[in-house]
Chain A
Amino acid sequence: MELSVQKYHDLADLLPQTVYELDMQGKIVFMNQAGINAFGKVLPSQDLFALDFIAPEDQQRLIQNIQASYQGKKPDSGSEYIALRADGSRYPIMVYSSPVFTNGVQTGTRGIIVDISERKAIENALRQSESKYKTLVENSKDGILIIREDKVLFANKTVAKLLDYNIEEFYQMPSINLLHPDDRHKAARIAEKRRSQDFSTINEEFRMVTRNGEVKDCETSSTLIEFDGQWASFFTIQDITGSKRMQLDLKENEEKYRQLFAAESDAIFMIDADTGEILDANPATSLIYGYSHDELLLMKNTDVSAEPEKTSEATQNHLNRVPIRYHKKKDGTVFPVELSAGFTRMGNRNIQIVTSRDITDRIQNQEALSKSEQKYRELTEMLPQAIYELDAQGNPKYMNKAGLKIFGIENGSGDKKAFDFFVPEDMQRMKQALKMEADRMVSDEGILEPVPSDPMEFTAQRPDGSRFPVLIYGTSIIENGEVKGSRGMIIDISERKAMENALRESESKYKTLIENSQDGIFAIIGDKVHFVNNTLCRMLGYSADELYNMPAINMVVPEDREKGLEISQRRLQGDWSTVNGIFRFQAKDGIIRECDTYSSVLELNGQIVSYITVHDLTETRRMQDQLKLSEEKYRNLIENATDGIVIVQDGLLKFANQTMCDIMKYNLEELIDKPFLDYIDEADHDSLSDFQNRRMTCEQFSNILRSHFIRKDGKMITVELNARTSNYKGRPAGFIVIRDITDRLNIENELQTAKHNLEMLNRDLERRVIESSESLTEARTQLINLQKENLQSQFDVLKQQVNPHFLFNSLNVLTSLIKLEPDLAEKFSEHLSKVYRYVLENKDNELVDLNTELVFLDAYIFLLNIRFVNKLHVNINIPDSKRSYQVIPLAMQLLIENAIKHNIMSKSNPLQIDIFIDNKNFLNIINNLQERPSQIVSTGVGLKNIQNRYLLLNNTEPVFEKTKTHFIAKVPLVKID
């Protein structure tokens, strides 16, 4: 056993790895030579523990592992630690350990320690290298793909980015899909080569396809590599889409320049300036002139010229530039050239280098241009607008006919400047405009180009002082990169201006209309007030600025806002229908105004605008109330009218008042909407229908006519219709006032009958007179008497007519007096008796004594004075000598009565009546004239009566005279012999 241990130890010493054995305390009981060498510790003279060989940071782990092995855990496959040498240096180790058993009891562990420094170093190197290559591959400018049998085994970020795939996606798709279908055969060919172990590098262009189907031109280079132990194709991919285009561009440019070089066709001569000999010429010279290079070298410059004298002269004078010279080709063709020459010395010779350019085409072009210019000039002249050209100083160089006419300068403009054709106040602006025109030149690749300026408005002025607005479109004239002036067009915009003004006026008119509208108006964009008119501002007591941009909904009371929001919601949903609604608006001062609103929508400049008209109902309501009152008033008037009132439309009764119902004994329901004619006697139908038809054609007329209505009880009544055309519910209708004149007619009839009776009586009398005259021709006196009788009876009737009036008036006075003034009443009765006795006694007399008459008159005047206290003054001045004359009875009384009847009489303006006898023996009854404005009845019968009575007497007739101040009655006095 001992031997065996020794053998084992010797064997262990031979091993290159460290072999060790630990007891249960972790103390090293054995370590082979390699171990001692490796750790540099001295054994076994010292008690060393395993921990002494391990770096402090790994010691804890070691203890755990050792304890684990003591607890019967399987030996691990090896653990890595950092070992610590005696000199303090460190190195990585791998420990493989297993437990040691003695007599079935674990007594320790043993194991092998391998120095893994080298392996670690290689590992690190490898890792670093891998990382480096990985970075290189991933960040390679070229895409990299490794492909085997149509499967992508590896792809780098670059190719993923190029083709817009995730790297993972590559691994799941056939690689062939990455290629343009037309290029797949090329890939197949390469794959074929690779399968036959062809290692060669193959460069090939492929069109690759991105995820989005975009095609990328790619240059690839591929080779065969071993990847994961098998062969695979390795591709590097370069996007040449950009570079390929550049190549193409380059190719094009080269082509272009080559062609340009080829087209460079100026002939260049090198000439001896003194002799004119041609020393050299370029190939173009041969082409142009038709001589070969060798031929040219034998010629002089004059040989190619068609104007040799001029050529040699120019050469001698060292002319640098000859705009046109005619040269001659070998075949004799003469053609124009432009020459430019440079002079130099070569050795001792004067050398002239002449560039000759064939300008045949240019000359032709110039001619064409000149023709074209002519054409345009003619066109310009025909244009209705003014076309002008100015030089750089602003002087007019050209103006077409239209321009001359517009500016009123057909007879020439003198030497005025352009500014002189405009009002002075525009001059500054105009100069600026011209400067701006010139400044607007755009320098593009060094070439100045005129750019038309924006049109500008000016006020032009004619020589006669009249002004008109114009619009000018100006452009600078550029020649050889310099501003040489300006040209442009002038449009007379008087009309447009007028229209603009009219439009503005119209706009202003509409604005005024809106602003002065009776209704408030506002507009909403979004939910904000965008516009308000004055009326609404006034209505709400806000200024327009305050309302502007205010949420429109804030104008109405909170209770109504939901309703408003509902409308705006509808607007948002595209409902553009007009919406009416009543909203309560709240004015700034808090007053709530109930308003009828009308909102409509329209699109303005791409915005949805709601327009709302606001009609304040407060006023309307007030007016409605007023109307109601007025209606009530008129209804009362109509209903309480004493006349029947109806409205007839289309022949139907549309309205009847209560009086009408009363007249007709129908109730209202029985009348309304019934034909009017149903209530009218058939005899009247024709005329009434005619009137009705005329009314319905809107003919305006009124008429009063009599008709006959049939009452409900069947009784016919006579009515007077007063009708006129008017408007009822928007259509013409007859408004008819109906008066039941049955009663009046009865009275009329009575009067008619009385009149008729009188007439009959008269006729009877006449008949009798005629009979008498026929039978008794000689009884003339009888006839006269009969006539007298006739007249007498007439005035008797008249007297009776007068007397009752007087009687009633007197009785009235008397009645009043009885209680008030009993004494006076007594006297009044006495005088009244006198008067009546006199009337009764004398009414049949033809004449009475003036004296008797005057006594009667005194009594009569007494009665009048009591009746009209202090309103009447009768002054009788008749001398006694005249009292024996006679007069017709009651004449003076009648005249006094007339005066009272026709004149105003009051205490302040009493009626003055003077009675006297003039020198012609006429009894004068004169009263001052203060006529009453109206009379009840004035028959004129009184005066006529007096006249007739004097006629009966065959006496002088009385005279009645009305002056401005007086009424004068002159009654003749009759003298009885």
Chain B
Amino acid sequence: MVIIEDEEFAARRLENMIREYDPTIVVSAKLESVSESITWFKANEEPDLIFLDIHLEDDLSFAIFKEVPICCSIVFTTATDELAARAFHLKGIDYLLKPIIQNDLFKMLDKYKDQPKALCPVNPDIFNEIINPVKP
């Protein structure tokens, strides 16, 4: 599992909560920026699941997909991006609102426990709409 989160404490808390859920889960990395994440994904094998904050210290996290193909499951996290959260909801993309409520996190982890890896990488274009929302 990988946590991508630019707020140090938030990342640490999430990690603790995951351990609490299942101590055997290995958090292979905690990353803070898009550039750091790209470097990591290029060098390491994909994890089973990524918790991905939208707003990272250098860019929106969607930028990662443009650089590295990522096939594994992703749960987005956000505290403030209400519109993005709604868009995720519409597209069937999983997300958690911060501060993360333990129950929500555990349900999410339950869901991904047995889910096989997706075959194809995440298409970065599907986030265009969120970044530049179509004005109605």
Please give the number of chain B residues whose Cβ is less than 8 angstroms from any Cβ of chain A in the complex: 38
B7 interface neighbour in A748, A751, A868, A933, Cβ under 8 Å? A868
Tell whether, in the assembled complex, residue A814 and residue B99 are in contact, meaning their CB atoms are under 8 Å apart: yes
Q: A residues within 8 A CB of B62?
A: 934
In the assembled complex, B81 has its CB within 8 A of some CB on chain A: yes
Interface bracket on A: 35 or more
Once bound together, how far apart are the Cα atoms of A812 and B97, in whole Å?
9
Once bound together, how far apart are the Cα atoms of A934 and B32, in whole Å?
17
Closest Cβ–Cβ distance, residue B136 to chain A (whole Å) = 4
Interface segment, one of B22-30, B41-49, B50-58, B106-114: B50-58
In the assembled complex, A688 has its CB within 8 A of some CB on chain B: no
Tell whether, in the assembled complex, residue B59 and residue A936 are in contact, meaning their CB atoms are under 8 Å apart: no
In the assembled complex, B117 has its CB within 8 A of some CB on chain A: no
Tell whether, in the assembled complex, residue B13 and residue A816 are in contact, meaning their CB atoms are under 8 Å apart: yes
Tell whether, in the assembled complex, residue B90 and residue A813 are in contact, meaning their CB atoms are under 8 Å apart: no
Tell whether, in the assembled complex, residue B79 and residue A812 are in contact, meaning their CB atoms are under 8 Å apart: yes
Tell whether, in the assembled complex, residue A817 and residue B9 are in contact, meaning their CB atoms are under 8 Å apart: yes
Once bound together, how far apart are the Cα atoms of A866 and B16, in whole Å?
18
Interface readout for B86-115 with A: 1 if CB under 8 Å, 0 if not?
Answer: 100011100001111000000000000000
Q: A residues within 8 A CB of B60?
A: 932-936
Tell whether, in the assembled complex, residue B10 and residue A813 are in contact, meaning their CB atoms are under 8 Å apart: yes
* Most chain A Cβ neighbours within 10 Å, of B6, B79, B81: B79
Tell whether, in the assembled complex, residue A936 and residue B55 are in contact, meaning their CB atoms are under 8 Å apart: yes
Tell whether, in the assembled complex, residue A820 and residue B79 are in contact, meaning their CB atoms are under 8 Å apart: no
Interface segment, one of A274-282, A406-414, A803-811: A803-811
- Contacts A642-B91, A906-B32, A933-B59; A815 near B130 (Cβ below 8 A): no
Closest Cβ–Cβ distance, residue A899 to chain B (whole Å) = 13
Tell whether, in the assembled complex, residue B136 and residue A934 are in contact, meaning their CB atoms are under 8 Å apart: no
Q: B residues within 8 A CB of A633?
A: 119-120
Once bound together, how far apart are the Cα atoms of A744 and B83, in whole Å?
11
Tell whether, in the assembled complex, residue A637 and residue B86 are in contact, meaning their CB atoms are under 8 Å apart: no
In the assembled complex, A904 has its CB within 8 A of some CB on chain B: yes
Closest Cβ–Cβ distance, residue B39 to chain A (whole Å) = 13
Tell whether, in the assembled complex, residue B86 and residue A812 are in contact, meaning their CB atoms are under 8 Å apart: no
Q: A residues within 8 A CB of B10?
A: 812-813, 816
Q: B residues within 8 A CB of A191?
A: none
Tell whether, in the assembled complex, residue B54 and residue A906 are in contact, meaning their CB atoms are under 8 Å apart: no
Tell whether, in the assembled complex, residue A816 and residue B58 are in contact, meaning their CB atoms are under 8 Å apart: no
- Chain A contact residues: over half helix, strand or loop, or mixed? helix
In the assembled complex, B72 has its CB within 8 A of some CB on chain A: no
Closest Cβ–Cβ distance, residue B36 to chain A (whole Å) = 9
Tell whether, in the assembled complex, residue A819 and residue B79 are in contact, meaning their CB atoms are under 8 Å apart: no
Tell whether, in the assembled complex, residue A812 and residue B98 are in contact, meaning their CB atoms are under 8 Å apart: yes
Tell whether, in the assembled complex, residue B7 and residue A867 are in contact, meaning their CB atoms are under 8 Å apart: yes
Tell whether, in the assembled complex, residue A820 and residue B9 are in contact, meaning their CB atoms are under 8 Å apart: yes
Q: B residues within 8 A CB of A636?
A: 119-120
Tell whether, in the assembled complex, residue B90 and residue A811 are in contact, meaning their CB atoms are under 8 Å apart: no
Tell whether, in the assembled complex, residue B59 and residue A932 are in contact, meaning their CB atoms are under 8 Å apart: yes
Once bound together, how far apart are the Cα atoms of A744 and B54, in whole Å?
21
* Most chain A Cβ neighbours within 10 Å, of B13, B14, B16, B120: B13
Closest Cβ–Cβ distance, residue B96 to chain A (whole Å) = 11
In the assembled complex, A5 has its CB within 8 A of some CB on chain B: no
Once bound together, how far apart are the Cα atoms of A17 and B2, in whole Å?
160
B83 interface neighbour in A752, A805, A937, Cβ under 8 Å? A937
Q: B residues within 8 A CB of A752?
A: 136
Q: B residues within 8 A CB of A815?
A: 13, 99-100
In the assembled complex, A905 has its CB within 8 A of some CB on chain B: yes
In the assembled complex, B37 has its CB within 8 A of some CB on chain A: no
Once bound together, how far apart are the Cα atoms of A303 and B35, in whole Å?
140
Closest Cβ–Cβ distance, residue A508 to chain B (whole Å) = 49
Tell whether, in the assembled complex, residue A813 and residue B63 are in contact, meaning their CB atoms are under 8 Å apart: no
Closest Cβ–Cβ distance, residue A516 to chain B (whole Å) = 38
Tell whether, in the assembled complex, residue A934 and residue B9 are in contact, meaning their CB atoms are under 8 Å apart: no
In the assembled complex, B84 has its CB within 8 A of some CB on chain A: yes
Once bound together, how far apart are the Cα atoms of A906 and B56, in whole Å?
9
Tell whether, in the assembled complex, residue A820 and residue B59 are in contact, meaning their CB atoms are under 8 Å apart: no
Tell whether, in the assembled complex, residue B63 and residue A933 are in contact, meaning their CB atoms are under 8 Å apart: yes
Closest Cβ–Cβ distance, residue A397 to chain B (whole Å) = 90
In the assembled complex, B73 has its CB within 8 A of some CB on chain A: no
B80 interface neighbour in A808, A816, A932, A934, Cβ under 8 Å? A808
- Contacts A633-B120, A936-B130; A816 near B12 (Cβ below 8 A): yes
Interface readout for A843-879 with B: 1 if CB under 8 Å, 0 if not?
Answer: 0000000000000000000000011110100000000
Q: A residues within 8 A CB of B98?
A: 808-809, 812
Tell whether, in the assembled complex, residue B99 and residue A812 are in contact, meaning their CB atoms are under 8 Å apart: yes
In the assembled complex, A298 has its CB within 8 A of some CB on chain B: no
Tell whether, in the assembled complex, residue B99 and residue A816 are in contact, meaning their CB atoms are under 8 Å apart: yes
B86 interface neighbour in A747, A804, A808, A821, Cβ under 8 Å? A747
Q: For B10, give the chain A residue with the smallest CB separation.
A: A816
- Contacts A812-B79, A812-B98, A906-B33; A936 near B9 (Cβ below 8 A): no
Q: A residues within 8 A CB of B8?
A: 869
Interface readout for A930-973 with B: 1 if CB under 8 Å, 0 if not?
Answer: 00111111000000000000000000000000000000000000
B54 interface neighbour in A812, A871, A936, Cβ under 8 Å? A936
Other contacts beyond A866-B9, A871-B57: 15, CB < 8 A: A633-B120, A808-B99, A813-B9, A813-B10, A816-B7, A819-B13, A867-B7, A868-B57, A906-B33, A932-B59, A934-B62, A934-B131, A936-B130, A936-B131, A937-B133
Q: Can you offer 21 A-B residue contacts whose CB atoms are under 8 A?
A: A744-B90, A805-B79, A808-B79, A809-B79, A813-B9, A813-B10, A816-B10, A816-B13, A817-B9, A820-B9, A820-B16, A867-B7, A867-B9, A868-B7, A868-B57, A869-B9, A904-B57, A905-B57, A932-B59, A936-B54, A936-B60
List of 8 A-B pairs having minimum Cβ-Cβ separation, nearest first:
A816-B13, A815-B99, A816-B9, A812-B98, A812-B99, A904-B58, A805-B80, A748-B136
